[in-house]
Amino acid sequence: MDETRKKEPLIRVEKRKERPAKQVRLLRLASVLLAIVAGGLFILCIGYNPFSVYATIVSGAFRSSMAFQATIKLMVPLLIPALGLTLAFKMRFWNIGAEGQIIMGAVFATFFALFCWDFPHWLLMICMFLAGMLGGALWGIIPAFFKAKFGTNETLFTLMLNYIALYLISFLRDGPWQDPNSSGFPKIARFGENAQLDKLFGVHVGWLIGLVLVVIVYIYLKYTKQGYEISVVGESRATAQYAGMNYKKIVLRTMAFSGAICGIAGMVQASGSDLTLTTSVAGGVGFTAIIVAWLAQLNPVGILVVSLLFSVLEKGSTVMQSSYGLSAYSADVLQGIILFFVLGCEFFVRYRFVTRKKGGKA
Amino acid sequence: MKKKILGIVLSLTMVGAMLAGCGQQQGAEDKKEETKTEDTSKEDTNADDAEKADDTDKKEDAADDSKTEASGKFAPVAKEDLKVGVIHISDPAEGSGYTYTHDQGIVEMQKELGLEDSQIIRKNNIPDTDPTMTEQAIRECIEDGCQIIFATSFNYMDTCEQLAQEFPDVIFSHGTGYKSNDTNFNNYFGRIYQARYLSGIVAGMKTESNKIGYVAAMGSENSEVTGGIDAFAIGVAEVNPDAEIHVKVTNSWFSPTEETNAAKALIAEGCDVIGQHCDTPNPQTEAESAGVWGVGYNSDMSKDAPDATLTSVIWNWGVYYTQAVQKVIDGTWTPEIYFGGMDDGLVDITPINEELCAPGTKEKVEEARRKIMEEGFNVFDGVLETNDGKAVGTEGGTLDDATITGGINWYYKNVIVD
Amino acid sequence: MRYQNRKKREVTQLALDKVENAIELRGITKTFGSVVANDHIDLDVRRGEILALLGENGSGKTTLMNMISGIYHPDEGSIHVNGREVVINSPMDAKKLGIGMIHQHFKLVDVFSAMDNVVIGAEGKRIKPRELKEKILELTKKFGLEVDPEKKIYNMSVSEKQTVEILKVLYRNADILILDEPTAVLTPQETQKLFAILRRMKEQGSAIIIITHKLNEVMEISDRVTILRKGKSIDTVNTAETNEKQLTELMVGRPVTLEIDRPKCENVHTRLKVVDLSVKKADGTMALKDLSFEIKAGEILGVAGIAGSGQKELCEAIAGLVPVETGAVLHNKENIIGKTPKQINNLGISLGFVPEDRLGMGLVASMGMVDNMLLKSYDKAKGIFVDRKPAKKLAEELVERLEIMTPNVETPVRLLSGGNVQKVLLGREIESEPSVLITAYPVRGLDINSSYTIYDLLNEQKKKGVAVMFIGEDLDVLLEISDRIMVLCHGEVTGIVDAAVTTKEELGLMMTGSKREGVKADG
């Protein structure tokens, strides 16, 4: 062998041509199954029976109407923001600010709950709903304006706005909106009955709002002119201008809607679930919703399915944790494993490994 | 599109105009009402302080004897059918702080009554700032068939109140708060100030620099913490009138870094005994590494800082938990407020470390203990001088429980807060 | 296994016999997913010869060369350099073997001088600038390169940049040179200069592979031609023994005519008048300076010029996509400057525009034909919903009429071949019944068949009385299809000439800045 002759690397990564849609779907399904297997191995490693643990997760989410109601209650704050984010993501506007938009929606709605609690119930609900939309929309328009006007980076901008919103709650909680009855404990008063979202089948009507939004967002994106504009802008700004679209207007409008939907989630969460305003009103769902939206490939119906699966996992995990005495963190690890596989499969959609062939070459 | 926005703006302006008429916070009105009731109760106490004190004693006695009375609104539960739910704010595995202490109480109750592991449903790491998670955790306990649920952190209170209404057959017992109802929701807490008073004596005897540090979670607006400081300070003054109590506030119940920093700062100021009202043992370990001494809290912190901890102010929550669950089994549970003291064994200090403590400490502590247990000494007796020169209390009287739990917003004369 | 060993020995033996082969490829195969880019290709390049690699777009030329220069790795087959089998895992390996590749897109650092660009990435010790300069000057003399070592890249013309790329390769003592479509960006005069350099290198014993699809250049410069078609090596012929027609047939796979029609039209009159148009680029420099010309109904106005002479800005200014500094664009006396595409459309003026960037501007790559048909007309439907029915009908009609190869009208257009993409785009623009049709590089990257379809479509429009503007890069094509040709240089018009009486060389001179005042061709 010559000195100059080198070996080919053992494994190479190559970009592949697009796989057919059917194959991609199969790959994704396989990754979910693999994730469940790997999660099972993890459970086995910490000394439990994976089958019974998985069974506990599922039954924990569905075992009674109360359990199912709790599952749905967890689903709502994932579903609605994911729908809102879908609008922005379709436009390739990297809205990482759902968290802040949810919070602002909740803050605006809480204003009415605290200070206009004597309104007739329906008027109060409508005011809170609209205020929630306005709060979220405001938090969506700000980064959109700066992006359209000055070309700022929306990822950082929306991310930073999250913290501003969060600290705004802390400020309100410790100051102007502090519950006068809490003997110094920093919290905002619980909403009166009048300011609580009505229930339907044992769960606040947020789930109904979510379902309606699924339909609206689906139709909006697929069949309306504005939805079409969003797709074009998302693909290429140059194409949008070529087609005579007003780029700035579309970006501002879409982000207003995106934020408004997230704001609805905030209103629903505060008045339907928390029944007060706390710093954990968003509690990270704004980030989880990003994953939900992408896993569902920005398809509203898919988002409904994925957010339900997420909430089953979440609800089931808490039951698993208490019935097996597992640390809450092991449930997180399990969720992490599943996400790792599902997201990791995207790599194999686009790339493939090539191993060195055995034997000599012709 | 434009019309839609315009519509929203218009309706909001309209609503804005209405705000002028409804610009008062809902809570504020509630507050007014509540102060009114408090006022009446205060009048009562003022009118007949001694009787009030008697009342409390009687109530405690009654609590002890209630087994025989069988006046509960709930049917007895067979021991093997019983399930107990516990909502913890962190994980008992933390090993020395608030949650650990409560969980030790649950464990003791379980042992005492002979319950199976599967009869205790624990929900760990439930942040009390997240009502949704709190509600879900409690609901899961209900689903699992719990007859009684202990919610150990303050801010679970509102959720408990609401769910108590929704589930009248389930008993909700909430720690450290102030709300309750007259059917299935009570509140439990204890006279920890009694133990703090004893620990003040230990610290006062020990200090050589006459500067005692105190890491406090909350400022003067919080009566629980402030009353604790005052009781400690009264104990110090009892044995060492020259010593000062230096207080640092972290503004958080649980903040390892802040607590460490506060202790460091106090030691740097010359304090040689560090007391604490916060969740981690960090002030004690800090004291140990600086070669000074300290007084622990929650559980026995001599396991964390054996060479520094003179004694620890501790809760024996098992006393309450055992009693409450026993009553559920017997069908005698009533929603009365539980405010146990040293005589119940709910609060105490750990046996003092005689190698570390000043000679004669043990005798002084025993004497004080006897005063509390046998002579009805309530720490906040008589006229007390505050550090801004005012006087609190009446000659021959003592502060009532409502004031102790919610109305101590002043510091005793030897306390310095910076 | 034993068979393979024996075969390898044979190959080695063979290589020793024919050491004049600088590179031998044997059975090279490369697949991307389901697409076979190279299918068992054999290729020899001798020292002291220029080999032309001829093939249409997508025939696998660039893929093959990328494997020699270490960018890709073959799935099968072997590469021999100077008679020895080698494995090339990276461009670094290729460099060590004396292989240099000049890509279509130059890989130079703009703010560095020619000298600095030559030494970065080169092995060996740092040498003093003076020595380096001497060494470079020596090289330039040896090969007849014209380059100032001190000049910064951003001050250079395209041709100069290319020269620096060649210098870079020579400095590293590469004796195997691969050039990917080197003349695409050059004027005829610059092309001649390049060819002179290549001939000098050939005389010095280098092996040169030139990738191209321009037949006249193949005939002019190469010694032998290897023709690829659909990933397969079809034939290798000696240039002296072939002609353009034969090469085309080998390349396309069947006989084709090479003439482009230029029908004469009646009633030719001014449709669009551009007066003193000036446009700035995003960086503030002038892209167009006081441009004035007319486009007439019933003619094709060709626009020639080296890349970046203002063609893009011209199209976009007329289409209302970029703001202009001064000037007017009159469409039948109506000034459309300063108006958005929508406003122009609302005036009842139908402006067809086939931009250079088809998938990035003219079409939405991830959408199917139906949605792409809607791009300029989605807003016309009443109400808030998009009406897809007429678009679907239109898409289906186009598929039939223009023979667009697509699985169905909902398949994302990015999955279609270049020719089909262009048919979709041009088809849509034609369907809007434009009065002016602006096309930028409409046949770039298209195979010969598709190109001729596009020429026919444009001529059809011209016959209908549409004013057509054709921005092109292949001067032969421009000369054949246009009625008049406008030449741009640095954003200025250097001449508008009658295509029928102009030569390529004349165009070339104008493209590099010499004005032609005398010749006026007003049609």
Across C173-177, average pLDDT: 87
Q: For chain C, give the mean pLDDT.
A: 85
Which amino acid would we find at residue A350? R
Q: Quick one: pLDDT at residue C14?
A: 46
C15 and C155 inside one domain: yes
Of C385, C409, C432, the one marking the end of a domain is C432
Mean pLDDT of C277-306: 89
Of the pLDDT bands very low, low, confident and very high (cuts 50, 70, 90), residue A10 is low
Q: Dig out the tokens for B97 from the structure.
A: 């702080």
What per-residue confidence (pLDDT) applies to A188?
87
- CB A70 to CB B139 under 8 A? yes
Rounded to an integer, the average pLDDT of C60-79 is: 87
Contact state of C35 with A232 under an 8 Å Cβ cutoff: no
Q: In Å, how far from its chain's centre is CA B413? A: 23
Contacts of C320 (CB under 8 A, 6+ apart): C336, C337, C339, C340, C341, C343, C344, C351
Domain containing C147: what range? Answer: 2-252
Euclidean distance between CA atoms B329 and A88, whole angstroms: 57
C235-252 pLDDT tens trace? 899 999 988 888 888 888
- Tell me how close the Cα of C58 comes to any Cα of chain A, in angstroms: 14
Q: How far is CA A218 from CA A207, A311, C139, C291, in A?
A: 16, 21, 66, 48
Distances (CA, A) of A126 to A80, A207, A271, B20, B212: 18, 17, 12, 19, 57
Residue C303 has pLDDT above 90, yes or no: yes
Domain total for chain C? 3
Given a cut of 50, whether residue A336 has pLDDT beyond it is yes
Q: Does residue A240 sit in helix, strand or coil?
A: helix
Question: How far apart (Å, rounded) are the C-alpha atoms in residues C215 and C249?
Answer: 11
Residue-wise pLDDT for B227-251, tens only, equals 999 999 999 998 999 999 999 998 8
Sheet strand arrangement including C76-81:
C35-46, C21-32, C76-81, C84-86
Chain A CB contacts of B130 under 8 Å are 274, 278, 280, 283
DSSP annotation of A297 reads: T
Beta strand ranges found along C207-257 (DSSP E): 207-212, 224-229, 232-238
The pLDDT-based confidence of C297 (bands split at 50, 70, 90) is very high
**What is the rounded average pLDDT of the residues B309-316?**
92
For residue A294, what are its two tokens?
């992408």
Report the CATH number at residue C467: 3.40.50.300
The architecture (CATH level 2) of B66-190+318-344 comes to: 3-Layer(aba) Sandwich (3.40)
User: C489 pairs with which residues across the strands?
Assistant: C492
**How many residues make up chain B in this entry?**
418
Higher pLDDT, B143 or A183: B143
- Domain limit, last residue, from C394, C414, C432: C432
Q: Contacts for B46-55 with beta carbons within 8 Å, 24 or more apart?
A: B49/B394, B49/B397, B49/B398, B49/B400, B50/B397, B52/B400, B53/B376, B53/B378, B53/B398
Give the model's pLDDT for residue A355: 66
Q: Over the stretch B366-417, which tens digit does the pLDDT of each residue have?
A: 999 999 988 888 889 888 999 888 888 888 888 888 888 878 889 999 999 8
pLDDT over 60 (residue B253)? yes
What's the residue count for chain C?
523
Residues of chain B with pLDDT > 70, as a percent, come to 83
Note whether C314 and C288 are within 8 A (CB). yes
pLDDT at A354 over 60: yes
Residue B336 DSSP label: P
Verify that C409 and C473 share a domain, yes or no: no
Tens digits of residue pLDDT in C106-125: 888 888 888 888 888 776 67
Q: What is the pLDDT of residues C21-56, one digit of tens each?
A: 889 999 999 887 667 888 899 999 998 999 999 888
* Residues C341, C306 share a domain: yes
Choosing among A66, A103, A108, A116, which should be mutated to test the B contact, i.e. which has the most B CBs within 10 A? A116
Q: Which residues of A touch C341 (CB under 8 A)?
A: 241-244
Read off the DSSP letter of residue C513. Answer: T
What number is the average pLDDT over the span A172-199?
83
User: How is chain C split among helix, strand and coil, in percent rounded to 5?
Assistant: 35, 25, 35
Residue C297 phi, psi (nearest 5): -65, 135
Same domain, C18 and C108: yes
Instruction: Supply the pLDDT for residue B264.
Output: 93
- How far apart are the C-alpha atoms of B106 and B91, rounded to whole Å? 14
Do residues C372 and C243 both lie within one domain? Answer: no
Among C197, C226, C252, which residue terminates a domain? C252
**What pairs with residue C330 in β-bridges?**
C273, C335
| CA dihedral over A246, A248, A254, A260, signed as positive or negative | negative
Cβ contact, residue pair B122, A325, below 8 Å: yes
Is the pLDDT score of B334 beyond 70? yes
Residue A304 vs residues A75, A208, A341: alpha-carbon distances, Å: 9, 12, 20
Q: Are residues C284 and C222 part of one domain?
A: no
Query: Under 8 Å CB-to-CB from B32, ≥6 apart: which residues?
Result: none
Contacting residues of B for A118, CB less than 8 Å apart: 22
> Is pLDDT of B194 > 50?
yes
Tell me the C-alpha distance between C411 and C256, whole Å: 31
In chain A, which residue's Cα lies nearest the Cα of C366?
A: A235
Mean pLDDT score of chain B: 82
Q: Which amino acid is at C132?
A: L
User: What letter would DSSP give residue B117?
Assistant: G
Average pLDDT over residues A169-189: 82
Query: Residues C435-446: what's their mean pLDDT?
Result: 90
Scanning chain A, the segments in alpha helix (DSSP H) are: 21-45, 50-62, 65-90, 98-115, 121-150, 154-174, 206-223, 225-235, 237-242, 247-268, 285-295, 300-324, 328-350
Mean pLDDT for C130-136 is 87
pLDDT at B400: 85
Q: Are residues C111 and C205 in the same domain?
A: yes
Residue B292 pLDDT > 50, yes or no? yes
Rounded to 10 deg, the angle between the B223-239 and B192-206 helix axes is 40
- Pick from C184, C188, C292, C223: which is nearest to C48 by CA? C223
Q: Tell me how far CA of residue A300 lies from CA of A213, A230, C158, C430, in angstroms.
A: 9, 15, 50, 36
- Rounded to a whole number of angstroms, the distance from the CA of B91 to the nearest CA of chain A is 8
What does chain A come to in residues?
A: 362
Query: How confident is the model at residue C376, as a pLDDT?
Result: 86
Confidence of residue B63 (pLDDT cuts 50, 70, 90): very low
Measured between alpha carbons, how far is B84 from A187 in angstroms, rounded to an integer? 28
Q: Does residue C359 lie in a domain region?
A: no
Q: Is the pLDDT of residue A216 over 70?
A: yes
What is the CATH topology of the domain spanning B192-315+346-417? Rossmann fold (3.40.50)
Q: What is the pLDDT of residue C87?
A: 87
pLDDT tens by residue, A272-324: 988 899 888 888 899 999 989 988 889 999 999 999 988 998 888 888 887 78
pLDDT over 50 at A350, yes or no? yes
Measured between beta carbons, the chain B residues lying within 8 angstroms of A192 are 26
Q: For position B410, what pLDDT does the model report? A: 92
Chain B neighbors of A127, CB-CB under 8 A: 11, 15
Q: What integer pLDDT is reported at residue B72 of this predicted model?
A: 62
The residue extents of the domains of chain B are: 66-190+318-344, 192-315+346-417
Quote the pTM value.
0.76
Q: Mean pLDDT, to the nearest integer, of C447-451?
A: 81
**How far lies B189's CA from each of B121, B159, B296, B312, B405, in Å?**
22, 18, 19, 18, 9
In angstroms, the CA A10 to CA C109 distance is 34
User: C-alpha distances in angstroms, A294 versus A82, A139, A291, A298, B242?
Assistant: 9, 22, 5, 6, 67
pLDDT digit string, tens, across residues A311-329: 998 888 888 887 787 776 7
The reply to whether C259 falls in a domain is: no
Which pLDDT band, with edges at 50, 70 and 90, does C334 fall under? confident
Query: Distances in Å between the alpha carbon of B103 and those of A318, A353, B222, C324?
Result: 19, 52, 25, 76
B42, pLDDT greater than 70: no
pLDDT value of position A12: 67
Determine the distance in angstroms separating the CA of C494 from the nearest CA of chain A, rounded to an integer: 29
Residue C107 CB partners (closer than 8 Å, separation 6+): C165
pLDDT, residue A359, reads: 41
- Identify the DSSP state of A273: I
Whether residue C74 lies inside any domain: the answer is yes
Tally A–B CB contacts below 8 A.
Answer: 123
Percent pLDDT > 70 in chain C is 93
pLDDT digits (tens, 9 = 90+) for C258-287: 678 888 887 888 899 999 999 988 778 888
Question: In one letter, which amino acid is A94?
Answer: W
Nearest-CA distance A300 → chain B (Å): 22
Torsion sign (Cα): B407, B410, B412, B415? positive
Which chains sit next to A, with 3 or more Cβ pairs under 8 A?
B, C
Residue C329 or C257, more confident: C329
> What confidence category does residue A357 fall into, taking pLDDT thresholds of 50, 70 and 90?
low
Cα C55 to Cα A351: distance, rounded to the nearest angstrom: 28
pLDDT at B110: 92
Scanning B154-183 for CB atoms below 8 A from A yields 154-155, 158, 162, 178
- Answer yes or no: same fold for B66-190+318-344 and B192-315+346-417: yes
pLDDT of res. B22: 45
pLDDT greater than 50 at residue B21: no
In the block, tokens 């501002």 appear at A252
> Chain A contacts of B137, Cβ < 8 Å?
318
Q: Could you give the ipTM of this predicted complex?
A: 0.79
